[in-house]
Structures are given as structure tokens and as C-alpha cells.
């Protein structure tokens, strides 16, 4: 069943993969969301939608390895009144079916939930073809889409419920490996479009999402030992972005680091920069995978090689603070 | 609700005249692609097939018609106007800023539009979704999708065909408007998809090949499709692009006449040919 083969190191206790938490949440929410239907492209045992499918076989349709049709079928079901959910690897559901997401979902504002799993380089050994590294930027370019990247199992559960309750298209990004716990219990703060402040500080704000929230917190602890006070925001919603939190970060800390497991182009960093440049320009530094594809390797080795550790986040924070002067 | 064959043919003439007038007024559009499809659209909306009430266009139990070849929007708008969904004079707002009648169908703007189409290849997948939803609702609703023939070059069509076959969707009918032309020329030369019926049959569909500009043949084919059990139906509708004004197109030496309105100076001639009917 679940048993992810890999995990991400942190000083924080390890929790489940966000895909696992999403899958369990979907399975349990199937009852309260009676109109929910899932259209799969033959990866339900990877994306964990099969747990819903096993419980609700009449509301689960595996249309085969055909993401374009998968999205179109889901759009038809949504137009007929269902909450439709499609899921595949982020690389495939976004890149393969982009025009269908654009024309059959975004343009008519249909109630389709799009879940991209196996996002980022942290899937590890399968390599670049399976790694969704541009999915957030592309999803943000679909008018009207809400775009969400939860950081751990509790926030993935909360994000799944919030996504289903939201009327309209949503993109939810989840990952393959087990990840550190950021939140405890089920009563965690989670409102679409509202950042969670996990640590307060006055010298710099580290804005992170997904896999990068744990290293952001670890970096903040390391920086504190050096006398740098870092605020940490879990910016789980990229669109709509929490402009109030960005305004406060710029005005109150005067420097920003954006950390994400995504291409430099189009992701959280781009959205933060666009907004901060307008609200109150302050030095910004970025931690991401740049402008390159991933490759095969263990998740831990890739995260180190592509510069996504707490050490890299702390270095970026020092650079941002130094740039204030 | 059904009408006689002669009445249906008369409605078809009105639809063709509306198509010509609204695209000439707009100064752009695809009248020839719309006119090939008139007999099928007339049969669906006025021949007793499509359970669609213009006074209740969002009835959840309605039948759906998806115009996957969205550039033929004028034939759909003309039919919806004749159904009484909106005032007939609104047809003349086609393609103008703020009009509900955009260049390609926009389901957010106008009830009665079941899919926002125009990016070719996507309508049949939505039709599969509607058909699955009707099966879950057990409401007996039928979904009709019309594609073009050039549109069959899109791989998504065949993904959708395979999935409809898998689920045995006998509440789904796909009509391929095989008018034989696409943007740059003959659909047989650009990318010949023959045998179209054979391809759908291979995916588990019941198939028919008809003269899609013969009103009686269209009625008979739709009746057989609706009676089909256990598998989806495909009607390969062999038509002529610009049917109803073929003599004028021959005179203009433009058999395809793709994506352009009839110039105002030829409009009366075109309308007269439509009114006279095809011998």
C-alpha cells in the first residue's frame, strides 16, 4: 500500500507523503462530497486516487493513459453538475493536457480539481521525464485557477478538503516521498489564499511551500544562532497570492527569500517578485532548481545537488539581508 | 414537437439564410462549414431528437448537443434562435463586442451551449463525460456530438472514442460532418482518415454512413442511433461544404470557401439559391 520507498531528511519528525495524505483525505471525503467523481489515467495506485476508487467504484473512471481525454471527460462530468477530479503525475496532467485544461476547464470555469503528483525532483530515481518542474507556473497561467502546494501530510489533508469545498478549478500539487511534519493534528490553520506564519522574525522573511517549508524552518533556526531573525511563511497557495502577508514581509522584515521545488521561471518566486515589486521593493533571493531538467538519483542526493537544503536557504537569507545595506 | 419532412426542409432553408446573413453582417466567420451541417442540426433540434426546452435550457435531465467543430457556431446559433432561446434579431450581433454569440461557442455566455469549443478535438471527450453523468443520474439523457472531418486528425478524438467504447455508452452519438474540406484544402489530401466508420467500429462503436444533406436519411440515421443498445453510435455524415449555395461557389471558383463570409455583393444571389433549393 502506502510504503513510500524514499523520504526527505530534516531535523523534524517524518510524516507521510503529501500524495498519501491526499489519497486518504479523498477516500474519506467521498461520503460528504456525494457528487465527487474521479477520472484516472491509469496511475491511481501512484496518485492514490485508487483508494477512493476502491471505496466508490461507480464514481471512478479509469480512461487509460490518455490525459487529454481524461481532462475532457472530467469537464463533461463537471458541466453535468459533478465535482470532477483528475489526477496524474504533475508532468503529465499539466503538460500533456494543457490545452484541455485551458479550453475545457479554465475557459468555462468548470468545477474540475486537478491533482499533480510526483512533483519536483524529489521523486528521485525515475528521472527527468517523470518530474513536474514547471507545473505551478503553467497552472498559474490558467485564468481563474487556484493553485495550491501543501507542505506536509496535515496540510495536504486540509488542502484536499478546501479544494473540494471551493467552487471552480483548482490545481493541487503533491509529492511522492515521505516528508517532515510541519503541523500536528487535524485542526491546522488552512485557508486558501492565506499564508501560514510558522515563525516570526524581523530581519528577513523566508517564503516557502511544499517540500521547502521544512528546510526553511531549519534554516531559520540556524540563522537565529547567528543573530539573524527570520520569519517563515508557508505560502501554500500561489494563486491567489496572499498580498497582505507579502506586504507585511516587505515592510516589517525588508528582505525576502523564496524557496520552492520548481523551475525559477513561473513559480512562487515569480509571483512573489511581481507582487513585492509593486507593493514595496525589497531585496529578494531565490532557492529553486533554476532553468534545467532533473535527473536520476536518490531524492536526498538530488535535493543536495540541486541546492534545495536548509544550508542553501540560510545562505540565500544571508545574501538577502546583506543586500539591504 | 416533431415536424413534417417538408417543414424540416423549410427550417433548414431558414437556418442557411440566417447563417449567410449573420456572417456577412459580421464580416467574418465560417458559413460554408456551418451550411454542410444544417440537415443534422435541424433534425436534432426540430425533428424530435434533442430533448431541449429553450424555456428551461439548464434542465439537468436535458439531452445535450456539443458542436465540437466550434467554428460552425452560426448553425448552432441559428437553431437556438429558431427554438426561441433568444430574439432572432440577436443573430446579427454575431462576433461583435459584448455579444453572447461569440466567434466560437462560449457556454458561459449563453445557455444552450453545452461546451466551449473552438480548439478542435475536445468536444467528444466532454460528450463522454456528459454520457457518464447521465448514466450515473439514470435520467435517460442522450448526448450528441458533432465533429468535423479535418478535426479527426486530433488524437484526443480517438482517446475519447476508445473510452466511449470501453463504457459502452449507448447514450452517446457522434456525428462526423464529413464535408471533405479543411482549412488548406481537401480533407482527403491533407490527412485522409478513411475509413472513418471502420475506425470508430474498431473502437466498439455502431456505425452508419449516410448522405448528411438528405433530410430523410439524417432522420432515419438518428433514429437508428438512438435505438442502439450497448455501444455508442457514430454517423459518418457525408456532406458538401457550403451546401445550398454550391452553384454560387462554383461560379466563384471556390469550392471550399473556408472561413470567409459571403461578400455583400453576392449575398442576395446566395440567399436566392438557398431559397430555390437543391434540385
Q: What percent of chain A has pLDDT over 70?
A: 98
A79/B125 Cβ within 8 A: no
Local confidence band at A5 (pLDDT 50, 70, 90 cut-offs): very low
Residue A7 has pLDDT above 90, yes or no: no
In this structure, what C-alpha cell is assigned to residue B179?
Answer: 464535408
Averaged pLDDT of chain A: 96
Mean of the pLDDT values across residues A234-261? 98
* Complex confidence, ipTM: 0.96
Local confidence band at A8 (pLDDT 50, 70, 90 cut-offs): confident
Residues of B in contact with A42 (CB under 8 A): none
Mean of the pLDDT values across residues A134-161? 98
Q: Which of A38, A39, A69 to mutate to test the interface with B (most CBs of B within 10 A)?
A: A69
Considering CB atoms only, which of A58, A76, A104 is closest to B130?
Answer: A76
Residue B26 has pLDDT above 70, yes or no: yes
Q: What percent of chain B has pLDDT over 70?
A: 99
Closest Cα in chain B, distance from residue A73 (Å) = 4
B119/A63 Cβ within 8 A: no
A75/B126 Cβ within 8 A: yes
What pLDDT is recorded for position A186?
81
Closest Cα in chain A, distance from residue B239 (Å) = 27
Closest Cα in chain A, distance from residue B160 (Å) = 6
What pLDDT is recorded for position A185?
85
The nearest alpha carbon in chain B to A58 belongs to B136
CB of B107 less than 8 A from some CB of A: yes
Closest Cα in chain B, distance from residue A17 (Å) = 31
Listed by number, the residues of chain B in 109-128 with a beta carbon closer than 8 Å to a beta carbon of chain A are 114-119, 121-122, 124-128
Closest Cα in chain B, distance from residue A225 (Å) = 56
Closest Cα in chain B, distance from residue A56 (Å) = 12
CA-based nearest residue to A73, from A90, A58, A57, A60? A60
Task: State yes or no: is A67 an active-site residue.
Answer: yes
The nearest alpha carbon in chain A to B60 belongs to A80
Listed by number, the residues of chain B in 231-260 with a beta carbon closer than 8 Å to a beta carbon of chain A are none
> Could you please report the per-residue DSSP string of chain B?
----HHHHHHHHHHHHHHHHHHHHHHT-S-HHHHHTTHHHHHHHHHTT-----TTSTT-TT--EEEESSGGGHHHHHHHHHHHTSS-GGGGGGTTSTT-SS-SS--TTT-TT--S---STT-HHHHHHHHHHHHHHHT----EEEEEESGGGGSHHHHHHHHHHHHTT-TTEEEEEEE-SEETTEEHHHHS----HHHHHHHTT-EEEEEETT-HHHHHHHHHHHHH--SS-EEEEEE--TTTT-HHHHHHTT-SS-TT-PPPHHHHHHHHHHHHH---
Closest Cα in chain B, distance from residue A87 (Å) = 16
B122/A81 Cβ within 8 A: no
What pLDDT is recorded for position A4?
42
CB contact set of A227 (below 8 Å; sequence gap of 6+): none
A64/B132 Cβ within 8 A: no
Q: Tell me how far apart the alpha carbons of residues A45 and A312 are, in angstroms, rounded to a whole number.
A: 34
Averaged pLDDT of chain B: 97
pLDDT tens digits, B231-245: 999 999 999 999 999
What pLDDT is recorded for position B278?
81
CB of B139 less than 8 A from some CB of A: no
What pLDDT is recorded for position A78?
98
Residues of B in contact with A102 (CB under 8 A): 119
Q: Tell me how far apart the alpha carbons of residues A79 and B190 are, in angstroms, rounded to a whole number.
A: 34
Residue A1 has pLDDT above 80, yes or no: no
pTM: predicted TM-score of the whole model, two decimal places: 0.96
A71/B125 Cβ within 8 A: yes
Residues of B in contact with A59 (CB under 8 A): 136
Residue with cell 539591504: A324
pLDDT tens digits, B145-164: 999 999 999 999 999 999 99
Residues of B in contact with A74 (CB under 8 A): 129
What pLDDT is recorded for position A2?
38
B130/A80 Cβ within 8 A: yes
Q: Tell me how far apart the alpha carbons of residues A268 and A241 are, in angstroms, rounded to a whole number.
A: 9
What pLDDT is recorded for position B53?
97
Local confidence band at B279 (pLDDT 50, 70, 90 cut-offs): low
Of the candidate ranges A7-21, A50-64, A291-305, B231-245, the one whose mean pLDDT is the lowest:
A7-21
Q: Which residue in the list A27, A31, A50, A67 is annotated as catalytic?
A: A67
Mean of the pLDDT values across residues B168-187? 97
B115/A104 Cβ within 8 A: yes
Mean of the pLDDT values across residues B206-226? 98
CB of B65 less than 8 A from some CB of A: no
B133/A81 Cβ within 8 A: yes
Mean of the pLDDT values across residues A60-89? 98
pLDDT tens digits, A97-114: 999 999 999 999 999 999
Residue A3 has pLDDT above 50, yes or no: no
Q: Which of B125, B127, B147 to mutate to test the interface with A (most CBs of A within 10 A)?
A: B125
pLDDT tens digits, B34-48: 999 999 999 999 999
Q: Are A320 and A226 in contact (CB under 8 A)?
A: no
State whether the Cα torsion A209-A287-A267-A125 is positive or negative.
Answer: negative
SS3 A118: coil
Considering CB atoms only, which of B107, B127, B133 is closest to A108?
Answer: B107
B136/A59 Cβ within 8 A: yes
How many cross-chain Cβ pairs, A to B, lie less than 8 Å apart?
111
B129/A74 Cβ within 8 A: yes
Residues of A in contact with B167 (CB under 8 A): 61
Amino acid at each position: 500500500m502506502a510504503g513510500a520507498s524514499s523520504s526527505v531528511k530534516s531535523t523534524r519528525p517524518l510524516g507521510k507523503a503529501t500524495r498519501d495524505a491526499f489519497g486518504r483525505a479523498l477516500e474519506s471525503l467521498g461520503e460528504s462530497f456525494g457528487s465527487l467523481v474521479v477520472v484516472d489515467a491509469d496511475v491511481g495506485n501512484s496518485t492514490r486516487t485508487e483508494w477512493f476508487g476502491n471505496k466508490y467504484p461507480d464514481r471512478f473512471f479509469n480512461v487509460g493513459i490518455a490525459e487529454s481525454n481524461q481532462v475532457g471527460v472530467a469537464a463533461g462530468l463537471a458541466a453535468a453538475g459533478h465535482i470532477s477530479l483528475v489526477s496524474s503525475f504533475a508532468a503529465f496532467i499539466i503538460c500533456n493536457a494543457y490545452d484541455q485544461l485551458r479550453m475545457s476547464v479554465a475557459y468555462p470555469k468548470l468545477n474540475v480539481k486537478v491533482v499533480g503528483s510526483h512533483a519536483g525532483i524529489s521523486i528521485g530515481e525515475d528521472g527527468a521525464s517523470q518530474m513536474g518542474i514547471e507545473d505551478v507556473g503553467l497552472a498559474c497561467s490558467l485564468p481563474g485557477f487556484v493553485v495550491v502546494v501543501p507542505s506536509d501530510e496535515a496540510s495536504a489533508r486540509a488542502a484536499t478538503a478546501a479544494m473540494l469545498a471551493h467552487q471552480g478549478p483548482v490545481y493541487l500539487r503533491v509529492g511522492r516521498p515521505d516528508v517532515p511534519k510541519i503541523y500536528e493534528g487535524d485542526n491546522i490553520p488552512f485557508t486558501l489564499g492565506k499564508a501560514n506564519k510558522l515563525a516570526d522574525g524581523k530581519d528577513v522573511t523566508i517564503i516557502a511551500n511544499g517540500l521547502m517549508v521544512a528546510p526553511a524552518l531549519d534554516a531559520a533556526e540556524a540563522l537565529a544562532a547567528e543573530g539573524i531573525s527570520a520569519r517563515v511563511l508557508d505560502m501554500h497557495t500561489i494563486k491567489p497570492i496572499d498580498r497582505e502577508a507579502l506586504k507585511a514581509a516587505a515592510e516589517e522584515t525588508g528582505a525576502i527569500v523564496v524557496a520552492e521545488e520548481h523551475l525559477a521561471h513561473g513559480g512562487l518566486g515569480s509571483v512573489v517578485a511581481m507582487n513585492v515589486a509593486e507593493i514595496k521593493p525589497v531585496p529578494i533571493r531565490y532557492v529553486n532548481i533554476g532553468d534545467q531538467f532533473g535527473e536520476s538519483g536518490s531524492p536526498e542526493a538530488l535535493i543536495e545537488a540541486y541546492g534545495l537544503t536548509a544550508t542553501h536557504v540560510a545562505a540565500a537569507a544571508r545574501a538577502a539581508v546583506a543586500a539591504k545595506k | 414537437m416533431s415536424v413534417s419532412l417538408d417543414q424540416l426542409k423549410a427550417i433548414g432553408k431558414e437556418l442557411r439564410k440566417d447563417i449567410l446573413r449573420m456572417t456577412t453582417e459580421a464580416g467574418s466567420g465560417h458559413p460554408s462549414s456551418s451550411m454542410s451541417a444544417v440537415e443534422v442540426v435541424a433534425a436534432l433540434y426540430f425533428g424530435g431528437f434533442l430533448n431541449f426546452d429553450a424555456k428551461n435550457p439548464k434542465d439537468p435531465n436535458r439531452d445535450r448537443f456539443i458542436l465540437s467543430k466550434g467554428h460552425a457556431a452560426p448553425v448552432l446559433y441559428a437553431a437556438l434562435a429558431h427554438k426561441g432561446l433568444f430574439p432572432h434579431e440577436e443573430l446579427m450581433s454575431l462576433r461583435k463586442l459584448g455579444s453572447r454569440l461569440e466567434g466560437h461557442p462560449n457556454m458561459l455566455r449563453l445557455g444552450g451551449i453545452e461546451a466551449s469549443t473552438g480548439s478542435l478535438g475536445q468536444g467528444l471527450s466532454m460528450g463522454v463525460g456528459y454520457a457518464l453523468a447521465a448514466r450515473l443520474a439514470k435520467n435517460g439523457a442522450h448526448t450528441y456530438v458533432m465533429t468535423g472531418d479535418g478535426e479527426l486528425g486530433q488524437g484526443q478524438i480517438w482517446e475519447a472514442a476508445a473510452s466511449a467504447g470501453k463504457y459502452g455508452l449507448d447514450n452517446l452519438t457522434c456525428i462526423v460532418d464529413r464535408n471533405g474540406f479543411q482549412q488548406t484544402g481537401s480533407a482527403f489530401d491533407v490527412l485522409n482518415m478513411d475509413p472513418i466508420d471502420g475506425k470508430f467500429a474498431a473502437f466498439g462503436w455502431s456505425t452508419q454512413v449516410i448522405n448528411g444533406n438528405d433530410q430523410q436519411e439524417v432522420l432515419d440515421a438518428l433514429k437508428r442511433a438512438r435505438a442502439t443498445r450497448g455501444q455508442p453510435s457514430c454517423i459518418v455524415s457525408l456532406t458538401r461544404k457550403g451546401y445550398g449555395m454550391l452553384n454560387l461557389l462554383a461560379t466563384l471558383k471556390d469550392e471550399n470557401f473556408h472561413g470567409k463570409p459571403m461578400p455583400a455583393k453576392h449575398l442576395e444571389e446566395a440567399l436566392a439559391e438557398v431559397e430555390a433549393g437543391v434540385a
